Structure formats: C-alpha cells, structure tokens
Amino acid sequence: MSLRAVPFVPQGMLCEAVSSQIRSMPRGTRGLLRSLRSLAMTEVRDMSNRQYYVYIMTNAHNTVLYTGVTNNLQRRVLEHQQGKGGVFTKKYNVNKLVYCEAGDEVSVAIMREKQIKAGSRRRKIDLINSINPEWKDLYEEMFG
C-alpha cells in the first residue's frame, strides 16, 4: 500500500481532502487511516501552545486507580470530584489526584495514557510512588 501526499489545503478543507483519499483506498486500510486522519486533525487544531496532562486519580482509600488525559487538569479534576467525570469515576468515587505528567503534544499525551493504562497495577503504584510516595492529593498542592 502506498499513501499519496495530500496537497496543501486550508485547515477547514484538510479533513475533506484526507477523507476523499481514504474513500479511494481498499477497505482493509480505511480504519487505520481514519484514526490517522483524526490524529492529524487533532494536531492541526493543537498548534497553539497548550499543555496536555496525563493523570492518575484514586479514591479515599487508594484502592481504585483511574488514568486519564486532559488539556485542563484543574477543570477535569473538579469534574471528577463533583461526580461529572464519567460512570467509572462516579461509581468508585475517584476524586483524589495522585499523579500527573504535562507535555505540549496531544498525541504524545494520548500514547502515554495508553501506555500507563496497559501497565499493571504494580507499575501504576510504582509510578505514583516515584513522585508522590505519601499519595497526597496533588490538586490541593497545585491549585489550592
């Protein structure tokens, strides 16, 4: 399989240009290419100097671990604390930030999130202990 280069087009038209190339490819390659298009569009929108955070949260007893990624850590942690984070975090009362990493590329943050999620519980615990051995709520230290 060979990919054809997409000629330069204005940002708003990029998605359609890539979509038309995807439609012309064999069916077996379309899913992968849709993922790549989605990632490319994320990178185009991401040209501002944003920060992206990979974070791990837990409950009051440190028995549940949740890994996520966001571009606004303060807002996202508040959502989790208010029970707006999602089904899992609401069900298990995940509301304490115990680990975070920051970077400026969303694709790297997403890959790091997947890497952490794929790791064992022991590896996540070791990662948390490497920066936060007392498992303090980092939200309080970061945002007061």
CA-closest candidate to residue 67, choices 46, 37, 88? 88
φ, ψ for residue 102, nearest 5 deg? -120, 150
pLDDT of residue 84: 84
CA distance 72 to 28: 36
Helix H or strand E segment including 67: strand 65-70
The list of the chain residues with pLDDT below 50 reads 1-18, 46
pLDDT at 144: 81
CATH top-level class of 52-143: alpha beta
Output the CA torsion 118→121→125→130 (10° steps): -30
Question: What is the model's pLDDT at position 34?
Answer: 58
